[in-house]
């Protein structure tokens, strides 16, 4: 009882002023915080499924082990000159492991190696490593200003698209749970929990094949400006290979927009991609950075760097690569 009396006892001096009870102020502050939370923009895409947490943790541990043993070879090099080199990053290896092993295949030991671009752990394809601070700064600036043209290819599972070419324009940001989500285009610039902002992102997609059958190229481009919940059909088990051209460079941009289109990338469990499909389990998503087109940061000459395509692009997704 004495403890309770101490907790709830208050001493006042002649100059003490108490305009409102302490608990009333606390409740009012909580209500104000709640009202503020209601003003945050709501994400359009769903949160990661509960199963993704354990799967992603296991994949990260396996990738760490694989990365610790990884070494680049000359066969991985797609392009090289005295200023930079482009390599074909394999799936399931962290970018830092690729950078760490770069000196082993370059004769000039005085080079200062830097990553000019990054790929997700399970994304394969073109990655540029520069050999000096100056070139690195120029390329990073070019990537930031979207002066470098990028194309990716992805194998997705979902409904057969009723479009052949489409551009998706939306917002991008982290939800209150820390996951990257799609937001409405009108929410761009609004504050998110934690103080970050919704940023714009835009991706153009072209259908390459459906269930192994190639599609004809199409000049007619549909445009979707994301305003609310997804209206496109979801579900289905069609194998849809798409080529993606991101016009911005947001984290997990292609993966998020594929999810929004109802054709999540196979193996991309974080964004509702098929983890188990037709009797097989897929470790990692099937997304490949196939091409970078840029002006050389020193000579200004145009260069196009292409990485060999994975076997799943042309074999109806039946290979293990």
Which amino acids are annotated catalytic? 120
Helices (H) and strands (E) in the chain, counts: 6, 15
Distance CA 100, CA 298 (A): 24
Q: Using alpha carbons only, how large is the chain's radius of gyration in Å?
A: 25
Q: Interior CA angle at 93 toward 141 and 278, to 5°? A: 115
Three state DSSP letters for 182-236: EECHHHCCCECCCCCECEEEEEEEEEEEECCEECCCCCCCEEEECCCCCCCCCCC
Task: Classify strands 180-183 and 199-210 as parallel, antiparallel or unpaired.
Answer: unpaired
Q: What's the rounded Cα separation, in Å, for the pair 118 and 120? A: 7
CA gap 202, 256 in Å, rounded: 11
CA distance 66 to 59: 10
By CB neighbour count within 10 A (0-12 exposed, 13-18 middle, 19+ buried), where does 144 fall? exposed
At a CB cut-off of 8 Å and minimum separation 6, what does 87 contact? 72, 76, 77, 78, 98, 102, 126, 127, 129
């Amino acid at each position: 009882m004495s403890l309770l009396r101490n907790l709830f006892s208050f001493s006042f001096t002649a100059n003490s002023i108490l305009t409102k009870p302490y608990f009333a102020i606390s409740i009012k502050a909580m209500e104000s915080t709640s009202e503020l939370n209601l003003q945050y923009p709501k994400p359009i895409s769903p949160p990661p499924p509960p199963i993704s947490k354990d799967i992603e943790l296991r994949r990260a541990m396996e990738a760490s082990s694989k990365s610790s043993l990884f070494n680049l070879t000359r066969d991985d090099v797609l392009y090289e000159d005295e200023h930079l080199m482009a390599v074909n990053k394999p799936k399931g290896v962290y970018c830092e492991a690729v950078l760490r092993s770069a000196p082993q295949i370059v004769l000039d030991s005085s080079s200062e190696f830097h990553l000019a671009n990054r790929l997700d752990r399970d994304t394969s394809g073109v990655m540029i490593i520069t050999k000096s601070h100056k070139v690195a700064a120029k390329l990073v600036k070019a990537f930031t200003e979207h002066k470098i043209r990028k194309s990716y290819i992805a194998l997705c599972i979902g409904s057969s698209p009723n479009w052949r070419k489409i551009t998706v324009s939306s917002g991008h940001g982290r939800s209150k749970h820390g996951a990257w989500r799609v937001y409405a285009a009108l929410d761009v610039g609004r504050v998110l929990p934690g103080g970050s902002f919704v940023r714009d992102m835009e991706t153009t997609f072209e259908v390459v094949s459906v269930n192994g059958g190639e599609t004809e190229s199409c000049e007619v481009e549909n445009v979707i400006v994301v305003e609310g919940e997804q209206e496109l059909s979801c579900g289905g088990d069609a194998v849809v290979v798409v080529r993606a051209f991101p016009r911005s460079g947001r984290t997990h941009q292609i993966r998020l927009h594929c999810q929004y289109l109802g054709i999540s990338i196979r193996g991309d469990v974080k964004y509702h991609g098929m983890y188990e499909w037709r009797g097989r389990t897929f470790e990692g998503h099937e997304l490949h950075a196939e091409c970078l087109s840029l002006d050389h940061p020193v000579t200004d000459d145009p260069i196009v760097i292409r990485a060999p395509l994975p076997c799943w692009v042309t074999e109806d997704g039946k290979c293990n690569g």
